Amino acid sequence: MLDILERMYSGYGFDNVVGISYFNKFLDELRGYSFSEIFAFQAKRYPLRYVLDFLLSTPSLWTQLSDVEWLEIMNSMNPRPCPLKLSLDNGHFSDIHFLAKYIRVNSIEVFLRQNSFSDLDKNHVIQYCQRDVYSLLADEIDLEDLDGDYFMSEQEIRCVQSRLTSGGVFSEFNFNEDELISYLKKEEIFLN
């Protein structure tokens, strides 16, 4: 698996091939491995933008994951490093980031409510989110890329969101920047 992921990362963006058309070349090889392992390896090793591009380009690998499986992925990312010591483009929080920004489910709340996750990891998630609040919100440019050609379609995103929120674990992530700042402050106070 490591060889495939290294080849995939090192070739990304060359020859003007990105998004779905690039990652499709690797799908057959990747299907033989656990998505949780694939995700955790990449998120701990590669930049956030690359991990997000991978996720948005390979919906067949993860769109059927249940809320329980997403919780397992979150757990596999722990312990998390202090985000204040990392670059903004680190991938260590890409699970939380992806679910909030693109799937638009409140992964922050779900993470913080897990009794099995340490208070230190919870503080690191809050610090990560507070560090660059705006990046957790999808803008028009982000949404334009969700066309089913460059990245997965908006309709596929809606289906995943609907399935995850119907399970009762995740709620929708509907914040503007000010509301998100306020929400994170409240969560920080609650945690500490």
pLDDT of residue 192: 79
Lookup result for tokens 């690797």:
26
Model-level pTM? 0.96
pLDDT tens string, the chain, 192 residues long: the values are 999 999 999 999 888 899 999 999 999 999 999 999 999 999 999 999 999 999 999 999 999 999 999 999 999 999 999 999 999 899 999 999 999 999 999 999 999 999 999 999 999 999 999 999 999 999 999 999 999 999 999 999 999 999 999 999 999 999 999 999 999 999 999 887
pLDDT of residue 190: 87
